[in-house]
Amino acid sequence: MQDENQVNQMELEGVSICEGYHIIKYLGKGVSGVVKLGRKGHEQVAIKFLYIKNEQERPKIIQKLKQEVDILEQLKHTGIVELKYFSDNLTYIKKNGQIVNKIGMILELGEKGSMLSYLLTLKRFDEQTSRFYFRQLMSALVYMKKHNICHLDLKPDNIVFDSDFNLKITDFGFSKQVQGSINDFFGGTKSYIAPELLDRIAYDGSKVDVFAAAQILFTMMTGCFAFRNCQEQPYNLIQQNDYAQFWNFQNNSHQTLFPQGFPEDFKDLINKMFDPDFNRRITPEECLQHPWTMGLEANLYQIQEQFNQVQETINQQLEQQEEEYQRQQQRRRDQERAEQEMRNLLQQSQQSYKSGNSQKKNPIIDKKRQIMKKFKFTFENRVLKRSLPTKMIDEILIYDDPKNLFCSIIEHFDKCGKIINIHETKYKLNVNIMENDEEKQEMQIELKKLEGDKLRVEVLNLGDDFIKFNEEVQNLKQSIQQQRDEVKIQQK
C-alpha cells in the first residue's frame, strides 16, 4: 500500500492543484468553460472552470455561475450530476507554483465519459440500448419538470455515464427555473433547436427539452441526426407536419440499417416529440408511457459488456483532444505575449511622440506620411468599423494602431504594384492578386476593430483561384510580422 502511494505521489508531481484536487487531465470544453479531471486521494471529480476574458466580465460570469448553482443545488436525482462545491474564488496553484483565483464548480464525475464518445465510436446504439437510455433520460426530465426546471441545451455532449454506465445529465449553463412560459432565452445548439426558439415566441421549456430528446433518440438509433439545422429539408417537412415525406426521406437515408423501414411505434413517438406546435408536443411523462418506450430494453450487464470493449479507443480519443487543447493553450499564451509586447511598443512610441523626442526620427510616423502622400489620402473622414468576434480561417488578429497597420498593408501591396483602389471612408482596399498577363483576380482587405485595441484584418477572395488567394494571405501575414519586427529593432 505504501509503495502504491509513493507511485501515485510521483505521478502527481508537477501538476496543477485546485482546492486540494490535483488536475489530472482535460475532459472537454463548451461555450461557457472548460472541464478538467481532479483527484484527491481516491476521489475523482469534474472541475468546471468558467471562461473570463477580462475583469469587466467578472460580475456577469459570477451571476451566470450562481444561476447554474441555484438550479443544481435543487436537483438530487440519479440521472443528474451532483454539485459538490462552487466558488467565484477557487484557489488554483499552477505547475510553476503561481497561485491564481478561478471561477468554477466541482461536480460529480461521469467516470465513463460522454454519450457522444460512445456514439462516435460505436456509430449507433441498438434499439434495446437506445430504449434503456431514453427511459433514463425521460425519468430525469420528469423530475426536472416537477421542479419547474428545464435544461435548454440537451445533447449527447451534455450526457455522461457513471462507473456503471448509467446516464447523467450535465452542463446546466443554459438551464432555467420558471413557472409558465419563457421569453428571454432563444439559444441552444442548432441541431437540437425547437421551432418556437427560431420563431422567438414565448415557449414551454420542458417541451423544448422533449424536442432535443427526440434528436438524441434518433441519433442513438441511427448514428445520424434527423436534421443538422433548420435549413435542411427534413426540418422543413417537420414544420409543415408532413411526416409521410419526412419518413420517406429517412427510410431512403437508412435503408441498409432498416430495410423494412423504421418501426411504426418508434415513428409515432418521434412524430409526437418533433411536433412543431409545442402545445401539441408530447410531455416527458407521456414519452415514458408511449408503447415504444414500454418495449424490451437492454440490461446494464449487456451494455457494460459492449461499452467496455471500446474504452481503450475512447481513451485514445480523449488523449488526442487533450493534446490539441494544450496546443491551443500554448498558442494563446504565445499570442498574448506577442500582443503585450506590441502594446508596450505602441505605448513607448506614443510617449516618445508626445514628449517631442525630436532629435530622433520616428520610423513609424515617417512611413505613414510617405504612404499617405503617395496615394493622396488622409484619415480625417475614415471610419474604423467594428467586427463581430467570430473565428474566420483567413483572419489576422493583431494589436496595433489602425493608421499604422493600414499603411503597412498598403505598403506591402504597393511593392508589387497590386493595388487597384483604396476606399475613401473605410480602412479598406482592393488588390489584384494575379501575376503578369494572367486574368485579373481581386482580393479585398478591410481593417476592423475588435475589443480593446485589438484589430482584425479581414481578407475576402473575389475570384476563383483559391490557391493563389491562400498564398497571398500568407504573404500578407508574413509581411505584417516582418514590418513589426523591424519596428521593434528600430525602437531599441
**Higher pLDDT residue, 465 or 385?**
385
Q: Which domain holds residue 117?
A: 110-309
Pairing of strands 33-40, 21-29: antiparallel
* Three-state SS at 192: helix
Kindly state the average pLDDT of the residues 404-422: 87
One domain for residues 50 and 137: no
Q: What percent of the chain has pLDDT over 70?
A: 86
Q: Which long-range contacts (CB under 8 A, 24 or more apart) does 80-83 make?
A: 80/140, 80/143, 80/144, 80/168, 80/169, 80/170, 81/46, 81/107, 81/108, 81/110, 81/160, 81/168, 81/169, 81/170, 82/107, 82/108, 83/107, 83/108
In a domain, 356, yes or no: yes
**Higher pLDDT residue, 390 or 152?**
152
Residue 9 pLDDT > 70: no
Whole-number Å distance between alpha carbons of 26 and 377: 51
CATH number, domain at 435?
3.30.310.80
Residue 451 pLDDT > 80: no
One domain for residues 161 and 179: yes
One domain for residues 198 and 236: yes
Residue 30 pLDDT > 80: no
Question: Has 112 been labeled as part of a binding site?
Answer: no
* Three-state SS at 369: helix
DSSP secondary structure letters along 216-280: HHHHHHHSS-S-SSTTSHHHHHHHTT-HHHHHHHHHHHTTTT-TT-S-HHHHHHHHHHS-SSTTT
One domain for residues 384 and 468: yes
pLDDT of residue 13: 58
Residue 426 pLDDT > 60: yes
State the alpha helices, DSSP H only, in 147-181.
Answer: none
pLDDT of residue 10: 39
One domain for residues 127 and 91: no
Highest mean pLDDT of the ranges 237-241, 346-350, 377-381, 457-461: 237-241
Kindly state the average pLDDT of the residues 60-69: 92
User: pLDDT grade, residue 5 (50/70/90)?
Assistant: very low
Give the end of a domain, one of 276, 309, 342: 309
CATH number, domain at 3?
3.30.200.20
Give the end of a domain, one of 309, 341, 373: 309
Residue 4 pLDDT > 60: no
Number of other CB atoms surrounding residue 361 within 10 Å: 10
Kindly state the average pLDDT of the residues 119-137: 96
Record the cell numbers describing residue 291, joined without a space: 408503447
What phi-psi label fits residue 438: left (phi over 0), alpha (psi between -120 and 50 degrees) or beta?
beta
pTM of structure = 0.68
pLDDT of residue 438: 63
Residue 360 pLDDT > 70: no
Segment among 250-254, 323-327, 427-431 with least mean pLDDT:
323-327
One domain for residues 101 and 79: yes
One domain for residues 7 and 83: yes
pLDDT of residue 47: 97
One domain for residues 215 and 238: yes
Q: How many helices (H) and strands (E) does the chain have?
A: 15, 15
User: pLDDT grade, residue 399 (50/70/90)?
Assistant: confident
Entry field: residues in the chain: 492
Residue 169 pLDDT > 70: yes
pLDDT one-digit tens code per residue, 428-446: 999 988 776 566 788 899 9
Mean pLDDT of the chain: 86
Contact residues for 40 (Cβ-Cβ < 8 A; gap 6+): 20, 21, 22
* Three-state SS at 58: helix
One domain for residues 97 and 141: no
pLDDT of residue 389: 56
